[in-house]
Amino acid sequence: MGSRRRTDLLNSPVSNSVFRFATVSGQNIHWFLKRNCSVTPSQLGWLYASLCVVSLGIGAVFWMLGAPLVLPFAWLELAAVGFAFMLYARHATDGERIALQGGRLVVELENGGDYERTEFLPHQVRIEPQAGDRSLIEVSGQGRSVRVGRYVRPELRAALAREIRMALRGA
């Protein structure tokens, strides 16, 4: 059974071992490039709720002990921290999805809740760095262009561009 799997991989047009950044499923190839976030928005919400309970609890104790200004400052602090957490959570799910599927190269960008989708015909696409080797990768064709690679280290962008070009040649 092990030799059969190895033979299937060798005979398949594209295998996972060829790609460093992509996921291969059947004839489809997907690149998921996401922001590296240590805390998800839901975890951040729970953290903020627990911070509110503790901070307002302390403020209420001081209010009852005769220090009425502690509670309004606790509310002000929680409003500022909540605003900062909201800005963080807005961009926590940012990412780029590139897919070679169904005879098309599909590029989807999500940034701060804004969503952009662009489709290209694989044989009419150019993949090249925007300015130099460490710049963003420009995907262009049919009068449209999209820049990708924001969430990949600059020194790895050239390798990502080569990988996308290789997949396009095989399509």
pLDDT tens digits, 121-168: 988 899 887 666 668 999 998 899 999 999 988 888 888 988 998 888
Cα–Cα distance, 125 to 41 (Å, whole number):
36
Residue with the larger pLDDT of the pair 2 and 113: 113
Residue-wise pLDDT for 34-68, tens only, equals 888 888 888 999 999 999 999 999 999 999 999 99
Least confident of 6-10, 63-67, 98-102, 131-135: 6-10
Mark whether 103 and 21 lie in a shared domain: yes
Neighbours of 120 (CB within 10 A): 22
pTM for this one? Answer: 0.69
Q: What gap in Å lies between CA 20 and CA 166, rounded to an integer?
A: 12
Clarify whether residues 112 and 165 are in a common domain.
Answer: yes
Range of the domain at 84: 41-92
Cα separation, 67 vs 102, in Å, equals 67
Please tell me the predicted confidence (pLDDT) of residue 1. Answer: 39
Gyration radius of the chain over CA positions: 24
pLDDT digits (tens, 9 = 90+) for 20-35: 888 888 888 999 998 8
Element housing 147 (H / E): strand 144-148
The DSSP call for residue 127 is E
Measured CA to CA in angstroms, residue 147 lies from 4, 20, 65, 133, 152 at distances of 41, 20, 58, 14, 12
**Measured between alpha carbons, how far is 90 from 104 in angstroms, rounded to an integer?**
30
Return the percent helix, strand and coil in the chain, to nearest 5.
45, 25, 25
DSSP character at residue 15: -
| CATH assignment at residue 112 | 2.30.29
- Band of residue 169 on the pLDDT scale cut at 50, 70, 90: confident
- What percentage of the chain reaches a pLDDT higher than 70? 87
Same domain? For 27 and 102 the reply is yes
Q: By three-state DSSP, how is residue 125 classified? A: coil
Q: Are residues 161 and 100 in the same domain?
A: yes
Say if residue 82 is in the same domain as residue 104.
no
Mean pLDDT of the chain: 84
Tokens of 76: 């002000």
pLDDT top residue among 42 and 3: 42
Q: Are residues 70 and 31 in the same domain?
A: no
Residue 2 resides in a domain: no
